[in-house]
Amino acid sequence: MAALAQADDGGRLTFSGYGTLGLNHDDSRESAFTRDITQRPKDFSQTSNSWWSEDAWQRDTRLGLQLSYQLAPATSVTSQVVLRDQVSSRVNHLVDWMYLSLNPLPEMDFRAGRIGFDVFLMSEQRNVGYSYPWLRPPVEFYGWIPLHSIDGVDLAYTLKEGKGQWRFKLQGGRSPGMGIPFDKDVYYFESDRIATATLTRQEGPWLLKAGYANLSVGTEADPLSRMGLFSGLDTVAAGMPGIPQSVRNEAADLRHHMTWKNARMNYFNLGMTYDTPDWFVQAEWGRVSSSIAMAINSDMAYLGLARRLDDWTPYAMVSAIRPQGDVRSASYYWGDTLPAAATAADRAMLNGLQSGAYMALNSTRMNQETFTLGVRWDLTSRTALKWQWDTTHVRPNSYLLRPSTKVNQELTVNLLSAALDFVF
């Protein structure tokens, strides 16, 4: 984040910050808008979609505070705290950055501590609304990312070549975790092994970036365990009396694809920015693949275009996300395979377990696209007002980004948003 205003102590202590005061109105009472998956969807039975509801102010509003201290010409420490709407109540999750930075050579940067997870174009700035034209990063691309920061180290090397430069960056560490709502419960997603690599080329108005990340999930999905899904599937897979082998195999397969701990995830990303005094164009394509079906397995992309006209910047964007596989469903009911002497309660129990397992397995699917129009008005060199309209087409069985009361139906919803972005 660039500090446009600062207070210093002999040029060594720097305090800066940013924030967004946001407001949005959703025209749907069948789906819930969330900016990212750390936010709990509204309760349809309790929350109206009024402009003045508590929910309307929560989604985009945030405040970031950053403190840096220059220990020596090539050594500094930085800490950043971000207050934003999220389900996690852990104080630790308010801290996005807290690291020691070393510059042993002019072209080399080394950081250790809590650093931003840097694979995508907007990885380290997605909370800083003032730094980009649109009101928020595209939800289809950034709303699902399960990491904001990692605890570890990174090393970057910049190589100048003619009028441009290359930048190579490696990161390694573990995640401090983040809370993801699961019905009324919370799943704390953590990763104990993260490795990333990025390559950036910048020349004139062009910036190109390629990124890759590999991580291992370090925590089990405890809400599924508390719901009894894990124990129920384990019991069926182990062999209940009268259960045929085909049902045991299916239960074991479902259990495997719902086991988050030690699952592997791979991210691939390509991004481009074209930035001149008159035009701003940004596009990204990404793919995430996982070793289990319940983790994210999707392709996503967006293209944004903005035209600068003095203090006004109208813009448009299109973004989409698609699942890599089909909806998983049962081809028969487990209860129907029981012997004739089985009770109705036993059949209902097995069918309920099977139905719950498939519903949970499909709950991370994302299949939607959004078209966006908006305008930004720069009031001063440190503040900007934005107005934005999003129309989103949610395809059937798309659960995660637009939680809905009718997941089997297509939805078209509109979102009107306004925000005041500022830096200091």
pLDDT value for 53: 57
112 vs 28, more confident: 112
- Whether the predicted pLDDT of 388 surpasses 60: yes
pLDDT attached to residue 141: 97
Give the residue from 394, 405, 406 showing the smallest Cα distance to 44. Answer: 405
Q: What is the pLDDT of residue 5?
A: 37
Give the contacts of 403 (CB within 8 A, at least 6 positions apart): 31, 32, 34, 41
Regarding beta strands 206-217 and 164-174, do their DSSP bridges make them parallel or antiparallel, or are they unpaired?
A: unpaired
pLDDT at 340: 86
**Backbone dihedral angles phi then psi of residue 25, each to the nearest 5 degrees:** -135, 125
**Residue-level pLDDT at 6:** 42
Give me the pLDDT at residue 2, please.
41
Q: Residue 151 is encoded by which pair of tokens? A: 């605890």
Residue found under tokens 């049962």: 330
Contact (CB, 8 A) for 233 and 224: no
Q: Give the CA count within 13 Å in the CB-facing half-sphere of 100.
A: 7
pLDDT tens per residue, range 331-376 = 999 989 998 888 899 899 999 999 999 999 999 999 999 999 999 9
Distance CA 265, CA 291 (A): 7
DSSP state of 297: -
Lowest mean pLDDT among 44-48, 157-161, 188-192, 197-201: 44-48
| Beta carbons of 416 and 392 less than 8 angstroms apart | no
- The yes-or-no verdict on residue 47 having pLDDT over 80 is no
Average pLDDT value for residue range 14-29: 93
Transcribe 329-390 into DSSP letters. Answer: --SS-GGGGS-TTS-HHHHHHHHHHHHHHHHHHHTT---EEEEEEEEEEE-SSSEEEEEEEE
pLDDT value at residue 41: 84
| pLDDT digit string, tens, across residues 310-338 | 999 999 999 999 999 899 999 999 989 99
DSSP string, 52-107: TSHHHHHTT-EEEEEEEEEEETTEEEEEEEEEE--S---GGGGEEEEEEEEEEETT
Residue 118 near residue 154 (C-beta atoms within 8 A): yes
- pLDDT of 10 higher than 80: no
pTM: 0.91
pLDDT given for residue 242 in this prediction: 83
What residues does each domain of the chain span? 115-221+259-327+365-417
Tokens describing residue 70: 């220059």
Residue 227: the pLDDT is 86
3-state secondary structure 119-141: CCCCCCCCCCHHHCCCCCCCHHH
pLDDT band, residue 43 (cuts 50/70/90): low
For residues 255-264, give the mean pLDDT: 95
Residue 104 makes CB contacts below 8 A (sequence gap 6+) with 74, 110
pLDDT of residue 42: 74
Average pLDDT, integer, range 159-181: 93
In the predicted structure, residue 245 carries a pLDDT above the cut 90: yes
pLDDT of residue 11: 59
Number of other CB atoms surrounding residue 96 within 10 Å:
21
pLDDT tens digits for range 282-292: 999 999 999 99
Question: Mean pLDDT, to the nearest integer, of 254-268?
Answer: 95
pLDDT of amino acid 1: 46
Q: Which of 28-32, 92-96, 191-195 has the lowest mean pLDDT?
A: 28-32
Burial of 82 (0-12, 13-18, 19+ CB in 10 A): buried
* pLDDT of the residue at 257: 95
Domain topology for 115-221+259-327+365-417: Porin (2.40.160)
What's the whole-number average pLDDT of the chain?
Answer: 91
Predicted local distance difference test score (pLDDT) of residue 4: 37
Say how far residue 320 (Cα) sits from the centre of its chain: 14
- Helix, strand or coil, per DSSP, at residue 225: helix
Q: State the pLDDT at residue 378.
A: 98
